[in-house]
Amino acid sequence: MSLGRLLAVVTALLMAIACGAIALGVGVAMDPVLRDLLGTLGLSGLEAVLSDLAEGSPPDPAVIEGAIDLGRAVLLLVAVPPALNAVVGEALGWRALAWYGGATGLLTALLPWLMRGAGGPAGAGEGRVTALLFCAGGIAGLVYWLAAGRFAGRGPATMWAAPRR
């Protein structure tokens, strides 16, 4: 892989991860149950941190740890699937939109199920969350395909020159 191609892949991955995160945020904001849950948890956590700071004491370590864990989970959901599918697609030279969009969406949707394993029955709203994750991953895969995936496996670009007379 040339340096130019590597730069294109990294740039496309950064764009895909950002767009996947935005799509996930918009999806959470549009779903009424997730929006209410996030609002309740976010406001109570923010209130706890602000009250601790107003009293002059450092914030509760459990709240900070919870925020870090949430950030890790979101990063895992929006960064790992596009990166994994980009590496596989680039290595095999696949240029199909179905690979980048579909496989990234599927892997993003399956990631919580795979991590949980046989950890118990699914909740009532888990189907909506799975659909939301599939859409966010699909958008990330589509953005990667538009930026770099459709050129995977091609040789270096050559310039056409007119024949000499």
If you write DSSP's letter for every residue of 55-120 in order, what string do you get? HTSPPPHHHHHHHHHHHHHHHHHHHHHHHHHHHHHHHHT---HIIIIIIHHHHHHHHHHHHH-S-S
pLDDT value at residue 150: 74
33: pLDDT strictly greater than 60: yes
This prediction has a pTM of 0.74
Which two structure tokens, joined as six digits, stand for 74?
């979101």
For residues 63 and 45, the answer to whether their CB atoms sit within 8 Å is: yes
Closest-CA residue to 95 (of 146, 48, 131): 146
Give tens-digit pLDDT for 70-118.
788 888 888 999 999 988 988 888 888 888 899 999 999 988 888 777 5
